[in-house]
Structure 1
Amino acid sequence: MHSSEATVSPAAISAVCISSLVVVLASTWYWKKSHPKECTKQSLKPEKWVKVGSVKKLVVYPIKSCQGVVVDKAVVTTLGLKCHNANIRDRDFMIANEIGRHVTMDKYPKMALIKVEVNEGDSITVSAPDMPSLTFTPPKLDGTNERLCRVKHDGHMKGLDCGDDVSQWFQEYLGDSTFRLCYHHINQTQRTFEPYMFKCPQFELSDMGAFHNETSYLLCSEESIGELNKRLDKESSWKNWRPTILIDQVNEPFAEVNWSFVKIGNENGILKAAVPCYRCPLTTVDPDIGVLPKDGEPLKTLRNMNLSDEFADKQLAELLKNKGIMGLRLGLYLPAGEGAVLNAGDPVYAALL
């Protein structure tokens, strides 16, 4: 009788190990090639800062694709701005469908009318037209409420279900009985890199946030929005572009897309640029009435401006060609910046590599 068990020779085992090592080394080489600054991040601190403007608004969006909360001051964290009076961060919550994928405002424009208030004691109150207000607190892990969440192509993220009463409020308003509200209870990013991100030389995994599409911070200037508005029949506002940091008094429109570092108010909480922000159809939702216009504006006109043609990095220029660019995506430069407090009215400084 012949044994059905296969015998693996030492030579075969060695070959497999060597092959695995080659794959690991090749992957490491590609990562370093794509991210040459990853291993020298602490040596990148710029030497020369230039004052470029002032903070006009700080905005925290506790629930992804719902209204933002304008605050006078906010706390810097790796995962994004945190409300000063509560332990609620930017994009800590998101509405998910039956497979855990995030629900977006461009698919459900009425989300633009969901008002979010952050209360002391870490509770949140939501309200919307023809709906009663609802107040709730972030859930705690109890062994039964953890579920998988998906942002864009990520399918492995963990979140906590906020419960039936909370989810029912969103189901009733948006008209879908499968929707659930999820909470990002983990204090580090769960995101993974998408292929295009490898082509952005300053983009690092540590720049990514909680339930954010990409990075944990987004900076826009009033001057850039104003320059675009000169070309529009109906002006857009900062609410279309949903920055966490809105600045003004910038000398040149769209100057921010070329900055490598941003410092607000003091030496702490320095932010590092990841990539200019190319915009999606969500920006076309009218934030005042919760309707998606058919003309594709203001995104259509922004795309026609072809701002990437001016980029010095030709690979990045090609990657973002014909995409509507408004604002700069950033991440926290060093963990030591955690806890820095930003204030509306603070001076804004920028630096290049």
Structure 2
Amino acid sequence: MSEADLVEPGALDQVLILAPYRRDAAYLGQLLAEYDMAVTTCASAEELAGHLVPGPGVFVTTHEALTPALIDIVAKHLSAQPPWSEMPIVVLLDRASPNSRIRGQLAAAWPRSRQLFYQRPLTQVELVSGIQSALLARMRQREVRDHIEREIELRRELNHRVKNILASVSSIFEMTRRGATSVEALAGDFGARLTALSNVHSAVFEAKGESISIAEIAQLTFDPYRQMGISRIDAAGPPIMLTREAGTTLALCLHELTTNAIKYGALSVPDGRVTFCWDILADYGPELSVLWQEAGGPPVVAPSRSGYGTRYLRAALAGLLGTKPDIQFVPEGLRCEVRGPLVRVACNPKAPADV
């Protein structure tokens, strides 16, 4: 664990004081507290080390406390700071102290700090104003820290999603290539499957969220075919929000089923129809049940070997819900049904209580 991981949410709001002689620490603490600043005092250099771990907002010390041990402790803390951090250090000097030598020594020992020197006696307003400005600078550093953390997380998420998309594209191409009979067929089928994948990603992005409803997925998948005059697909079910990954998988499965129905199944004839429905089975955990049923098309004959669509459906739906789909090539029409734990795919796994 790095020191950056130990930073507490409010640590950069603190003023840490080390002024072990006379009543300096008590006076400074009382003064800053009157201006609503959070103050922590420590009595020795040894105690200081523990207080530095969370990363204080501002460190205030007097020149009398600048022993070699203290300078070394602070130097070690500064060298371990994360890149965004530059801890402000306020040093209170006396007129009789060797100010130039102290400034030079500290500049060399503490290069990664924002050093502010004040010569006593000084007015309360001057000291309070300087520490408040230092705290404000520290807050700006915290904003930089938060921005960096968000950017790192976004990059990780982007890298993860790009890898997943590339893996999906590679799989789609390989399985499409195996079943292609010509370059034109390969290009057409591959392009259509990429379009289906793109449509779902676009929908989730435009929704500005990480989820998409099954109803939206059905609409996105079926609308292009309805615009081509094929409007014999009925879709219905309760409102269920799926995760981005689950929504993408379901959309590709529906695309495969629809394409197959247009080429060989119920949608290849004027009187054929398709029913796509989903439901929540509350008695089983709950479970999500999804059914694709074709009717009115040419008599269905089970294929002699599994094509891309069947192989993809079996693998994708099994991965989606954790159970193998039941795909039946019955004469009346293709039937594909799968059910599995709702919590695997849904953003609202408590949906049964809400619908």
Range class of TM-score, shorter chain: under 0.3
TM-score normalised by the chain length of structure 2 = 0.22
Higher helix share: 2
Higher strand share: 1
Structure with higher Rg: it is 2
Higher relative contact order (CA 8 A, sep 6+): 1
